[in-house]
Chains A and B, each alone.
Chain A
């Protein structure tokens, strides 16, 4: 008697294969028996099938324990146990693309053959890609290793009513099966490990992986939350998915509370943040990123703000500088129970938020509201008090810790030959004084050098002050401009012209009119910032003149490190602690001064990280700066994998089944008409367009895929 065992998986055709093998022997006049043993198995579950062949009538029933030949339909079922017994010399036929030598060690004394029946079945359109039906291909392979003619397999197929692609698949496998006569070594532990790792539901998410359910039939899969790209990209550390989902659920209050855990500036960021979360949004490719910025803005406007908590018991901390980083640090320190005093050189709080961002982007009332919210946490304020090196030493003696967030006060100059007084001005200074007293630029041609938000802000402010001709000169192209893309769009709509690929070379006066001479540039290889490096074009024809009554410089600024004893190297996101002049208090640095990337949200995140580090140090905690993390205090998602959210793998676009979502364009936002906004400093972006009976906030938040959040749909088990 010859006995076969087929180790298959539900839906792959193992039981039919048993019948086909039996059929091939029956045609040779032998007695045969073929049957499967299965209960309620579904696609992918392990299933066994058996074949007996004998010259006499077969009168044994039941499972076969020691088969002559073994067919393994799925390589994940390979184990020494499938070839138990003393029947040496039999064949082990495995459906795999790997060579037979890979498995020889598992089956000493057996002959091993492999054939990639999955590929053959898919190529012949048998079954689906996820669940190819491999039985007819494996029959061809069996015919070959058993020394039959292909005609025997074809005959068995014909008897069973199979033709066409099934016969072709059998022929292909007959030709492609690879065998080894060489007995291998004793079981390889490597293979066993592979087998084990295949059995866990780890990172198998995304479209159309192969079917694995069977291997998991006896295991309990655990769900794992992935980290959404938006959260990962937020420099402020906001739980973007968290607040957007809360808003989608209609719980605006909770959404705002989630935001306020990381940032006291939702109304500000909801207006001025470049929103890297939206660049990272997985929805972007389908029908446009979720408008996180306007959701944040709407929450700050509509949701009920919580009453500030004022815990106590901490040690006094001074914060030097009341820009976004300093105020964020002060806010978080106060929430952690430390009495905080903010010391600011200017008469008012806000730093660049107040002086560097025009009113039409960030109405002062919004800023005032959020500063007031921070101060309501019990933060003391001392304005009009510049702090120099000696001052810092005094402060460090007075407080338990000092956080310095004085930003970048040194504005980068540009060496423009021919410059004269009254023509060239720093963009940031221009922006600051246009707030104080509006200047009339009627009829003037204004040129701004730079490509960042300050440049665009200065250009749009100049438009509002009546300038006749406003041009932004930038040495790269628009695509490389660091300014927020929407802001650039709006500037263009307001009449600002962007002069790309020009680098200022000097000012000249001709016929009583000033103009800026620029050199044409071309883009070269990417520099260390990742952007293409512009290089000047040679020759006189490479020079261009741009008419220019006023020249505003917006080419960046640097931190004033004179406060500290040298040497100091910038380290993001914050720096410290250091000792200043032998004072007892540790001094920390955050924000742009610490080398931040220059956005409000980065400053907020930097301030928060510094606050957490100060808190941890003052509380005597370990060095882990996240030890006192507010984020860590939130309950973690339930599940057997105890990992910190920040350690979870990212939920990239491959984890989202885009086809499962209908296309829903983003909610429209309301913009003031360019014609109107050229005249005054009223806010340009007005948030979501309102329609009667429609709730744009919930609607837009509902577009969020909630990437990485496990819904338990089990589709990843595919």
Chain B
């Protein structure tokens, strides 16, 4: 039995329904709810299948027969979302359906009960985008500690503040070597959109960690959700960074000297407990030292050629600025390397582009070229590899389509 003709297997389906309809029962100021709206924006109306474990994201769309989700959404058992997403994604693949499968899970389903399933799906490199909306608490059950709860935070099961620090799930996912892992903030819209664009353009397991303020659990003002997201980044407790293939670290926003107290003071979960601000500051500093070390030589720490059979390619993720292609190409040609093919793929955020260059070079030269490209300021990532061109052939263009260079005189009409 063939698929419905109306659906046209293989075709990209766009939808008119919002992903997350009004009328859901999310609390005022719910970070997750805002995150779903942003996810919708980042998908530009594309179809997808959501897989959501038994968490707030299944409780807030409303009860049968209503649902706030305007896309297919599978409410899985708590620990199972990466496994269920695996099944969905594999069948999409068997049927040439391009719809991404997106897991949308809380920190309970990610850091704790779902960790084994998550780890396994990441290790199998399933073609799934996994977004953890991390509210640092078991929000759906009324606010108990999770392993994502930061040290010092009061929860219903840690009335005197949690003694242990937050689990570093990004390090765990990076250790799996997933193609893409990144942190997301609800105060950094452009960054969010770009990362979702990179995630959508990447194949394999993609892990995104969204800090999701929870006014009910954090005892914060609902109106402060975006502000708290910003403060978390500004004071350094929630670094914005991304990891490519588990090797190449890139920091997107650094702490700007905002005192940690500004972030803590807006949340009553840190009030009324013996909170050691100095210890928290030290821990933040140490975290940054580790992160800076990992990102120190970005991305030159690892531009070794991967893969073993096929053509040699340089895949470069760039900010879509004028003359970037020329500068990237310049890095190749100055080492006397011929460019045989150029494939340009614009990301859906319209601000970033993958430039894939087929080059005629030996691996050592390719790595030198990659290091040179990595030093260009508009370059986000470089990956030299041997294999098949990852971009659809239809996207091949002889020349890159970039915005006109403002340095050239404008033409009118």
Contacts and interface: CB of A to CB of B under 8 A. Distances in A.
Chains A and B touch each other in the complex, with CB atoms below 8 Å apart: yes
B59 A714 contact: no
Contacts of B28: 43-44, 130-131, 211-213, 717-718
Interface string A671-701: 0000000000000000000101111100000
A43 B216 contact: yes
A715 interface: yes
A718 B33 CA distance: 12
Interface string B338-350: 0000000000001
A208 B226 CA distance: 13
A659 B23 contact: no
A657 B412 contact: no
Contacts of A485: none
A217 interface: yes
A625 to B, nearest CB: 31
Interface residues of B, number: 48
Interface in B238-257: none
Contacts of B289: none
B222 A130 contact: yes
A41 B25 contact: yes
A1 interface: no
A40 B63 contact: yes
B22 A223 contact: yes
B25 A213 contact: yes
A412 interface: no
Contact of B60 (A40, A216, A694, A711): A40
Nearest to B224: A659
B410 interface: yes
Contacts of B413: 304-305, 369, 373
Contacts of B378: 693
Interface string A291-307: 00000000011101100
A42 B407 contact: no
Q: Interface size class for chain A? A: 35 or more
B324 A693 contact: yes
For the complex of A and B, list the 8 residue pairs with the smallest distance between their C-beta atoms, beginning with the closest. A43-B27, A40-B59, A660-B226, A305-B413, A718-B28, A42-B27, A718-B222, A220-B23
Contact of B412 (A43, A369, A695): A369
B266 to A, nearest CB: 10
Contacts of B215: 43, 128, 130-131
Interface of B: 18, 20, 22-23, 25-30, 33-34, 37, 40-41, 56, 59-60, 63, 187, 190, 215-216, 219-223, 225-227, 230, 268, 321-324, 350-351, 377-378, 403-404, 406-407, 410, 412-413
B23 A11 contact: no
A468 B413 CA distance: 42
A300 B411 CA distance: 10
A207 interface: yes
Interface string A393-404: 000000000000
A53 B410 CA distance: 83
Contact of A130 (B60, B223, B403): B223
Contact of A690 (B190, B324, B407): B407
The binding surface of chain A is classed by DSSP as: loop
Given A42-B27, A305-B413, A711 B216 contact: no
A714 B222 contact: no
B232 to A, nearest CB: 14
Residue from the set A39, A221, A692, A718 with the largest chain B CB neighbour count within 10 Å:
A718
B34 A694 contact: no
A713 B37 contact: yes
Contacts of B410: 301-302
Contact of A40 (B22, B25, B223, B377): B25
Nearest to A376: B413
A130 B37 contact: no
A5 to B, nearest CB: 22
B322 to A, nearest CB: 7
Interface in A353-402: 369, 373
Contacts of A217: 25
A416 interface: no
Given A302-B410, A660-B187, A714-B37, A208 B25 contact: no
A250 interface: yes
